[in-house]
Chain A
């Protein structure tokens, strides 16, 4: 009879954690906690853990309640996206890009489609550009709602109220997207040179209705948590990402802007019609959990402004180049290019190499969460385990993007 309670052989990450403890002991390092004998323990957090927001696994070395070391283990959601590209035409690959980072999938589509357009020299119609910005910013709001909602839910019982409010509004955005694209999350909406469908009748009005009431709702969320003593205690001054960290680890997106850096690809590497739009970059100074939360809240306001401008400026015209159908088979000339796009989580980029055939020769995604996750060992070490959960929530990871 097999022993069902037998301990599994530790894998490489756990072995590494144990080895590091041995090395620390050999160096004569003891416990940092007063009155505690040297007593470190390796805890396996995840991949099935409610606070890791997906299948992230952290091998945490604990010294009492203090986190001494963290080894992130990823790959539990790996679906060979880059390998799949070898046997798909450029057109067939669009829906697969959706499924990399599924919380803001339209922004991922955008990054991929832009790279192919640049490689093949396809010009996007002007109306389609505006529709792209509208959908991209709507999904940015939806994604930030998920990020802030789930993160506050990690912090306190108060947050569970917040997550329901936020998902209520996110559902309205997904409804709008469903009316436009036919899907709630996996849109398959962008085409080379444009988008799949034009805006349906009455969509602009419904979108405006939502935008009119949304800023008031943001105020409501802020009233719920911004002055809450527990929330402030748990977020202010914790998990600080310095500007040097941003430079060293390639942190992008709201996490970088919370540290006071005006890095936003919509501004620094402008694409689409963003140069024509008037919006502010939201930055904060301290780079702690609270600032990352604030940046996301402010960005939602800015996104509302951007969408309103786009709806005002929306020109008439075709949403796809040439005929009614998008080009199904395209063969970009041999060469390579990289295009980055400001995803809600940071720089989502696609590197494509073409050998002149119908299939990409090499396709690589630069995922913001993959890069942001790299700082975890540095960021979490030295904090209490409860704060580690708060910090990892504030970084806003989507494992689909990390594992690809």
Chain B
């Protein structure tokens, strides 16, 4: 296969332009974070489709998922996807806003297999539901733990961890 890093070097401006053009209407607030990351916002309804297109893009090609972080924004939640493009050797940080009362977003495990555990962790810690995930169990905490500790309104009670 002969995978090399940075086989299609592009300047950050060129990548930002390319993304803004090819994904117009899907990616919003495209901005460059020095030295090598593009930060953008994506609507949650289109995430799955967008992820597949980002991965398949012939020039940028974000093929590897680096990590997913769930963030409690108090007014809502946010799922942050950090993906890596081998061709351009740059990163894309995708922020997806989720409503407070229904923090659900489609899983991207079908696109990036690495998303499996990261989504489980995000569910475990922040309580974001990844719809369609093959095995959405707790990962770091015990099976019978109650609540999601990285939520800002989480109150630690003895009853939350029955077997501690």
For A12, the chain B residues whose CB sits under 8 A away are 137-138, 143
Cβ 8 A contact of B66, one of A11, A260, A262, A366: A366
Task: For the complex, give the distance between the alpha carbons of A282 and B93 in Å.
Answer: 29
Q: Establish whether residues A351 and B82, one from each chain, have CB atoms under 8 Å apart when the complex forms.
A: yes
Q: Establish whether residues B67 and A11, one from each chain, have CB atoms under 8 Å apart when the complex forms.
A: no
Tally of A interface residues using CB under 8 Å: 39
Q: Is A204 in the interface zone, CB < 8 Å from B? A: no
Q: Is A268 in the interface zone, CB < 8 Å from B? A: yes
Q: Establish whether residues A247 and B143, one from each chain, have CB atoms under 8 Å apart when the complex forms.
A: no
Across the interface, name the chain B residue whose C-beta is closest to A403.
B140
Given the interface pairs A75-B139, A75-B142, A82-B150, the reply to whether A366 lies near B67 with Cβ below 8 Å is yes
Q: Establish whether residues B112 and A248, one from each chain, have CB atoms under 8 Å apart when the complex forms.
A: yes
Task: For the complex, give the distance between the alpha carbons of A340 and B80 in Å.
Answer: 16
For A231, the chain B residues whose CB sits under 8 A away are none
Task: For the complex, give the distance between the alpha carbons of A371 and B3 in Å.
Answer: 19
Q: Is A261 in the interface zone, CB < 8 Å from B? A: yes
Q: Is B128 in the interface zone, CB < 8 Å from A? A: no
Interface stretch, picked from B19-27, B40-48, B113-121, is: B113-121
Task: For the complex, give the distance between the alpha carbons of A4 and B112 in Å.
Answer: 45
Task: For the complex, give the distance between the alpha carbons of A213 and B102 in Å.
Answer: 61
For A374, the chain B residues whose CB sits under 8 A away are 114, 116-117
Q: Which B residues from 25 to 51 make CB contacts under 8 A with A?
A: 33, 35-37
Cβ 8 A contact of B139, one of A74, A243, A246: A74
Across the interface, name the chain A residue whose C-beta is closest to B112.
A248
Task: For the complex, give the distance between the alpha carbons of A250 and B112 in Å.
Answer: 9
Q: Which of B5, B36, B137 has the most CB of A within 10 A?
A: B5
Shortest Cβ gap from B64 to chain A (Å): 5
Q: Is B60 in the interface zone, CB < 8 Å from A? A: no
Q: Establish whether residues A74 and B140, one from each chain, have CB atoms under 8 Å apart when the complex forms.
A: yes
Q: Is B131 in the interface zone, CB < 8 Å from A? A: no
For B98, the chain A residues whose CB sits under 8 A away are none
Q: Establish whether residues B5 and A80, one from each chain, have CB atoms under 8 Å apart when the complex forms.
A: no
- 23 A/B residue pairs, CB under 8 Å, sorted by A: A11-B143, A12-B138, A16-B135, A82-B125, A242-B1, A246-B3, A247-B64, A248-B112, A248-B114, A249-B114, A260-B2, A263-B5, A268-B89, A269-B89, A349-B66, A349-B67, A362-B69, A362-B150, A366-B66, A371-B67, A371-B114, A373-B117, A374-B114
Seen from chain B, the residues whose Cβ lies within 8 Å of a Cβ on chain A are 1-6, 33, 35-37, 63-67, 69, 71-72, 80, 82, 84, 86, 89, 91, 93, 112-114, 116-117, 125, 135, 137-143, 149-150
Q: Which 8 A-B pairs have the closest CB atoms?
A: A366-B67, A75-B140, A250-B114, A364-B69, A248-B113, A243-B1, A243-B3, A12-B143
Seen from chain A, the residues whose Cβ lies within 8 Å of a Cβ on chain B are 11-12, 16, 74-75, 78, 80, 82-83, 242-244, 246-250, 260-263, 268-269, 337-338, 340, 347, 349, 351, 353, 362, 364, 366, 370-371, 373-374, 403-404
